[in-house]
Amino acid sequence: MKKSFTFLKVSYIAMLLSVMSISEGFAQGLRTSYFMDNVPSRLKMNPALQPARGYFNIPAIGAIGLSASSNKLSIDDFIDIIQNKNGFLNSDQFINRLDNKNTMNIDLTLDLISFGIYSGKGFWTVNLGARSIISASIPKSMFELARYANTNPELDENVNLNYDIKDMELHANIFTEIGLGYSRPVTKDLTVGGRVKLLVGLGNLDAKIDQIYAHVNTDDLASYQSWKVKTKGRLEASMKGLEFSYNSDSGYIDDIDFDSPGISGYGLGLDLGASYNLFGCINLSAAIIDLGFINWTKSSTTIATTNSEHDYGDFANSGSDEYDPDNTEAGDVFDFDLIQFQTEENAKSRSTSLRSTLNLGAEYTLLNNKLGFGLLSSTQFTQPEAYSELTISANYRPKNWFGVSLSYSFLHSDFETLGIGLKLGSIFIGSDYLMTKSLGDANRANVYLGVSVPLGKKRQDYRRK
């Protein structure tokens, strides 16, 4: 039985570890909330953005965030890929809308313990947190090969005799953090802030396939046939409880399993930010988030490579009068039998960097800071490539307990989505991509829910005169 290296297993492991980690984490945060005073989530995007008073996030429901994005694939496609339902591969509409390189990102964040308090003019934050991230880049040719992996080329004219697949990647990262932050005005107009984080690595996986070259074997189509495949790539995995099984004949990895989680490494992280008030009505800000690394232990690490030539696949050799392409079973997008990773004997420790984010903001305020118009540039240095967004927003905050923000993200909304953030008392809810069409048809979506209670006495908001 063929076993596949699917998004389902990686997604399940990442989300399971996040839930089990007693965790908190906003990481990049909700861009729509960046200019919303007294919303705790914006501190994760810039540690210098002081609120009017302290806060305490309610455990379990204090902060829940989920985001998914792709350059071409829809939310429905995400679900099909994660659940490994390969029927979508038989859709011409799906294949035709693919790009030569198709990227996917899934980011899950949760919150259990997080609070901030004032001490004089300084503002302290403490958090215990975790985050799980999955990202991938899949060439269109890989989807095409998976679609026709078990199809005889003599029975379907759409099957190519050769597929040259390059630069396919899959990444997953799960870690917890213990963070201590501090911010303070250094002049009347300038505030600086930072956060130091101790990182506890739960799991990391980096799979990079440099090339898969598949050529159909046409020697004798009347008998069992396969593809002649050449592969080159590398797999690095660090996760306690992650187990590999091996093909009994060739010894390559043919499946992964998950036993019990545990600590797989340690690292350090750093957030830095600043804000500056210009002319009393213009607020400028900048921050770099998630600078740092995790060092993964030798005992939790497996390194495997592939550089081989082998046969793959099993053509449907029924007569052409009986052939039905819609009922031919597709292959898998990530298939161990296709790639055939071989484990290296000498494992070693390894280090990975965090996925840093650069935020640059500017806001013009009116009516004693009750109304503002903001512009935020956010660039996340993800694997396999960076993700940038430019967001404008209108922000209304007449009271400390009430605020609303409407936003539009230029680079990825395609005039089909708007962002909204609403703070009502202790509750905040928001999304950068509020759908104007079916959610399943969209290629990016996020949602954020936060519940917090104020701590300490109200201080005069330094942003209001």
Residue 49: predicted pLDDT? 94
Q: Report the number of distinct structural domains present in the chain.
A: 1
Rg of the Cα trace of the chain?
A: 25
Residue 372: predicted pLDDT? 95
Q: Which amino acid is at 183?
A: S
Low-confidence ranges of the chain (pLDDT < 50): 1-5, 7-8, 11-12, 15-27, 223-224, 316-323, 327-328, 462, 464-465
Structure tokens at 141: 């040719």
| Coil, strand or helix at 188 | coil
Structure tokens at 456: 């300490």
Task: Answer yes or no: is 283 within a domain.
Answer: yes
Residue 440: predicted pLDDT? 61
Residue 22: predicted pLDDT? 35
Residue written as tokens 């809810």? 429
Q: Are 65 and 447 in contact (CB under 8 A)?
A: yes
Task: Answer yes or no: is 245 within a domain.
Answer: yes
Strand partners, 189: none
Task: Answer yes or no: is 260 within a domain.
Answer: yes
Q: Are 380 and 357 in contact (CB under 8 A)?
A: yes
Task: Answer yes or no: is 93 within a domain.
Answer: yes
Task: Answer yes or no: is 307 within a domain.
Answer: yes
Residue 21: predicted pLDDT? 39
Task: Answer yes or no: is 90 within a domain.
Answer: yes
CA distance linking residue 442 with residue 143, whole number of Å: 20
CA distance linking residue 237 with residue 14, whole number of Å: 13
Question: How far out from the chain centre does Cα 148 lie?
Answer: 29
Residue 387: predicted pLDDT? 76
Other C-beta atoms within 10 Å of 34: how many? 28
Residue written as tokens 């694939």? 73
Residue written as tokens 């403490």? 126
Give the pLDDT confidence of 349-383 residue by residue, as tens digits: 999 999 899 999 999 999 988 999 999 999 988 76
Task: Answer yes or no: is 378 within a domain.
Answer: no
Residue 389: predicted pLDDT? 86
To the question of pTM greater than 0.85 for the whole model, the response is no
List, in sequence order, the alpha helices (H) in 25-122: 75-83, 92-96
Domain that holds residue 303: 7-354+430-455
Q: Are 297 and 238 in contact (CB under 8 A)?
A: yes
Task: Answer yes or no: is 29 within a domain.
Answer: yes
